[in-house]
Structure 1
Amino acid sequence: MTTYATEQPRRETLDATQGPTVVIFGTDWCGYCRAADRYIAPALAEHPRLPVHAVEDGRGRALGRSYRVKLWPTLIFLRDGVEVARVVRPSRRQEIDEALATVTA
């Protein structure tokens, strides 16, 4: 199960990353996040070297606002700090696999 960290990386840090990175926004208590985890966890497990930041989102959380996150979970796929794909409330694994293929290509 995905655990969402209360400590968030700074947007400037994510913008400066090199290579692929995934940022997941949600909360531990969110029903949509728990339901989507059955697709998220196995998809990410196939990419063990891929940096993943699962961060708690909500009121007063600037990082989620900077990416215009509205619904949870939202997965942002970055390459060299630039968003190349986004998956919101995945309802099947294929959505995540396609985004992973885009960011890891």
Structure 2
Amino acid sequence: MDRRTFFATAVAALTLPAFAQATTNYTPGLVKKHLAAGDTVFLVFGTEWCSTCAAQDRAINALLQSNPEYDAKVKFIHVDYDQYGQSELARELKIPRRSTLVVLKGDEELGRIVAGTSKEQIKALMDTALSASVA
């Protein structure tokens, strides 16, 4: 590996968002398992190629870094819309498109954002999730 490739790879690895580490990738049954356990679940329906999704990820990442309580008390689950956009979960929740964020607790939907990228709006949704997790 030449020096240029090494540095490019190192920079790319360092710039990966911590959000990717704070989330769990969706598998069928995972959401129901967490909800049955009493967890508050923050669902991120997105794709790797979606610029709106990337903007949401940046906002979520910044908020996770600013307040570790989010990651400690809320289960963040990334749902690959390309793979699971037509799944039972997406149909049950009536997910209209990628770049949809949803907070669930028990049998209740506590809030959602569709295609919104405002850090303030996303923070409000994350605060809703955090409040529900300690209630």
For the aligned pair, the TM-score class normalised by the smaller chain equals 0.7 to 0.9
**Residue 34 of structure 1: how far off its partner (Å):** 1.4
> Aligned partners of 2:88 and 2:129: how far apart in 1?
24
1:43 aligns with 2:63: yes
Q: 1:36 to 1:103 in 2, by over 3 A?
A: closer
1:91 aligns with 2:120: no
Paired residue for 1:104?
130
Distance 1:85 1:16 in 2: 19
CA distance, structure 2, for counterparts of residue 68 and residue 14 of structure 1 = 20
Report the equivalent of 2:3. Answer: none
Using the TM superposition, give the Cα deviation of residue 81 of structure 1 relative to its aligned residue in structure 2, in angstroms.
Answer: 4.3
Partner residue in 1 for 2:49: 29
TM-score, structure 1 normalization: 0.78
Question: Is the partner of 1:103 in helix, strand or coil?
Answer: helix
Matched position secondary structure for 1:86? strand
**Per chain length, whose mean CA-contact separation is higher, i.e. which structure has more relative contact order (CA < 8 Å, sep 6+)?**
1
1:53 counterpart = 2:115: no
- Name the structure where helix makes up a greater proportion of residues: 2
1:79 and 2:105 are equivalent in the alignment? yes
RMSD: 2.3
Give the 3 Å change call, closer, same or farther, for CA 53–104 of structure 1 in structure 2: same
TM-score by length of 2: 0.63
Stretches of structure 1 lacking an aligned partner (at least 5 in a row): none
Max radius of gyration: which structure? 2
Aligned partners of 1:74 and 1:97: how far apart in 2?
A: 14
- Could you give the per-residue CA deviations for residues 36-74 of structure 1, whole angstroms, max 9, x where no partner exists? 222122123422212111011245422222211112211
| % identical equivalent positions | 23
Contact 1:23/1:52, CA 8 A, preserved across alignment: yes
Number of positions where the alignment pairs a residue of Structure 1 with one of Structure 2: 104
